[in-house]
Amino acid sequence: MLLLGLAVLGLIASSPCTAAPVQDSLSTGSTRNKLLLISFDGFRWDYDRDVETPNLDKMAWDGVKALYATPAFLTITSPSHFTMLTGRYIENHGVIHNMWFNTTTQEKKQYYMTQFLSNYYLPTSKMSPVMWAKINFIQVEPHFYDHSNESEWRVNIDKVIDEWFHQQDLDFVSLYFGEPDLIGHTYGPDSPERKEMVRQVDRTVGYIRDKIQDHGLTDRLNVIMTADHGMTTVLRSGQVEEIILSKIPGFSFKDIQFQLLDYGPLGMLLPKEGMLEKVYQALKGSHPHLHVYKKEDMPERLHYSKHPRLLPIILIADPGYIVNGFFPVHFNKGEHGFDNEAMDMKAFFRAVGPDFQSDLMVGPFDLVDLYPLMCHLLGIKPEIHDGHLNKSKDMLVPQQPQEETMVVTPLQISFFVIVAITPLPHVSTFTAESCTVSGTREYQGKLQITICLSIYSLICRVNTTLMSRELGLESDITSSNEAPGQRVRGLTSWKIGQRLTGEKLRA
Ligand SMILES: [Zn+2]
């Protein structure tokens, strides 16, 4: 049975409400439309260009298609999904990798190895609203599971649409599929197998939309579909000179206290005391497609330097290259984790529903901006985040001015997260040693990864008090550079970046 995970989250509303527009809905008394967030892992932005995708095309005609969405760096599954759900860059939410590690004990754990270890996912208070949750009940997925099974995808979809949205009247559900990531790793992004999986995704999109219509939810349910990253073809020996650290003159593993290598294009090193400069100088310039940074010198645009879990030396390979340690150990044909400016790392994006415009093609935007958009759709006051609602709000139907009304409305949120149990070659697992922050072990990331990734099927029903927004100030956009709790109100005071364009979609 597919549904192995069930978690009921009881949550917590902390802020006093301000105001929100109200209309009555079926049972909550709220006017907010429901929201379904779907992530198809590794669905690259252009995967619909070489395959017939009638259902994805229809979704674009009925709603919004973005040219692409740029994931945060590091472009791998756990960090990227945390960015989606928190609106924080990876250096700010702290889920810096798929891998758990402890530089003192030399432990490395794939995420699923920590699933039953409760001390890996103790919550802290600094989470996005939906994450301030107490997990009351969880069931966890099996370690081995066929994530490409289409009939089981439909069982899960039935669960989400029939039971949670229709019968239980939940407001927010997030749904995860482990494909086409796995097929992209195994066969490569240009393979016939990947194209066939995109057809399966397309059929699934049609199934979801039919289900929504059958249950009369079309006018009450917004649907966002996106992905955590793209995929690119790995270049192998014979085509190129591979990056193998052990073969680099002047570099020795004897100088290294801890290393995180062989997980794709990103490597991290903790040199032994006094060895940092020697290691850095040996690696710097050693391979034309290897970029070597001291942590503090990482390009600011990557937002991947500030977190204490990040190790002192960070290695990033150019697209197609892998950072190998002693020798190549993984032989994926496709990989991700590269610079998020690389087009092959971009993700697809579609949205449809009563709050979205129809037949609209918009320019690219960053996945970090998804969180404020979702909070806006749900009428939730966002936590501190790094996103910008004004970069995505042009997708929405302009709001009619409404009289502000003080409301306290229960918001029911569910997460249904189906997780890819990645095969060994996959870049998987998460994070650094639960680092010490102000003398306290911090497990913040793990709670989220448990919710977001480790749990094969996770349902979180959250009852909270709606933290309404102030009409006209769609979001309290807050800079991560500011002190916690400090907010910048009003969009005019915020540096506005690239705005979306409003070109109509041309089929
Ligand atoms: Zn992957």
Give distance in angstroms: CA of 335 to centre of ligand 1. Answer: 7
In a domain, 377, yes or no: yes
Give distance in angstroms: CA of 253 to centre of ligand 1. Answer: 27
Between residues 143 and 388, which one has the greater pLDDT?
A: 388
- Residues 377, 295: one domain? no
Does the global pTM surpass 0.85? no
* Maximum mean pLDDT: which of 136-150, 184-198, 413-427, 460-474: 184-198
Picking from 297, 331, 365, the residue at the C-terminal end of a domain is 331
CATH of the domain at 84: 3.40.720.10
Buried-state track 189-203, b at ≥16 Cβ within 10 A, e below 16: bebeebbebbebbbb
Q: Which residues contact 164 (CB under 8 A, 6 or more apart)?
A: 170, 173, 414, 416, 459
- Is the pLDDT reported for residue 99 higher than 60? yes
- Residues 352, 387: one domain? yes
Residue 107 has a pLDDT of 84
Residue 409 has a pLDDT of 44
- Is the pLDDT reported for residue 120 higher than 80? no
- Residues 88, 193: one domain? yes
Picking from 305, 331, 357, the residue at the C-terminal end of a domain is 331
Instruction: Give the 3-state secondary structure of 282-325.
Output: HHCCCCCCEEEEEHHHCCHHHCCCCCCCCCCEEEEECCCCCEEC
Between residues 9 and 224, which one has the greater pLDDT?
A: 224
Residue 416 has a pLDDT of 45
Residue 203 has a pLDDT of 98
Between residues 419 and 489, which one has the greater pLDDT?
A: 419
- Residues 268, 361: one domain? no
- Is the pLDDT reported for residue 497 higher than 70? no
Which of 61-75, 184-198, 493-507 has the weakest average pLDDT?
493-507
Residue 45 has a pLDDT of 97
Catalytic residue ranges: 77
Residue 100 has a pLDDT of 82
Pure H helices in 293-443: 370-378
In a domain, 118, yes or no: no
Which of 100-114, 122-136, 249-263, 418-432 has the weakest average pLDDT?
418-432
Q: At which residue do the structure tokens 């020798």 appear?
A: 327
- Residues 71, 187: one domain? yes
- Residues 169, 76: one domain? yes
Residue 236 has a pLDDT of 87
Handedness of CA 295, 299, 300, 303 (dihedral sign): negative
In a domain, 196, yes or no: yes
- Residues 269, 184: one domain? no
Which tens digits make up the pLDDT trace of 123-132? 333 333 333 3
Give distance in angstroms: CA of 181 to centre of ligand 1. Answer: 5
- Residues 36, 168: one domain? yes
Residue 310 has a pLDDT of 95
Domain count, the chain: 3
User: With bands split at pLDDT 50, 70 and 90, how would you rate the model's confidence at 166?
Assistant: very high
Which tens digits make up the pLDDT trace of 223-240? 999 999 999 999 988 889
Residue 404 has a pLDDT of 42
- Measured CA to CA, the distance from residue 170 to residue 472 in angstroms comes to 26
Residue 117 has a pLDDT of 59
Domain that includes residue 466, residue range: 422-470
- Residues 220, 264: one domain? no
In a domain, 178, yes or no: yes
In a domain, 479, yes or no: no
Between residues 403 and 392, which one has the greater pLDDT?
A: 392
- Is the pLDDT reported for residue 175 higher than 70? yes
- Kindly list the distances between the CA atom of residue 346 and the CA atoms of 44, 47, 277, 474, in Å, as whole numbers in the listed order: 6, 11, 34, 27
- H or E element at residue 79: helix 77-86
- Residues 161, 279: one domain? no
- Is the pLDDT reported for residue 476 higher than 50? no
- Residues 379, 452: one domain? no
- Residues 433, 461: one domain? yes
Give distance in angstroms: CA of 231 to centre of ligand 1. Answer: 8
Give distance in angstroms: CA of 186 to centre of ligand 1. Answer: 10
CATH of the domain at 288: 3.30.1360.180
Residue 119 exposed, middle or buried by CB count within 10 Å (0-12, 13-18, 19+): exposed
In a domain, 410, yes or no: no
Which tens digits make up the pLDDT trace of 358-377? 999 999 999 999 999 999 99
Which of 39-48, 51-60, 154-163, 282-291 has the weakest average pLDDT?
154-163
In a domain, 159, yes or no: yes
- Measured CA to CA, the distance from residue 292 to residue 295 in angstroms comes to 9
Buried-state track 474-487, b at ≥16 Cβ within 10 A, e below 16: bbbbbebeeeeeee
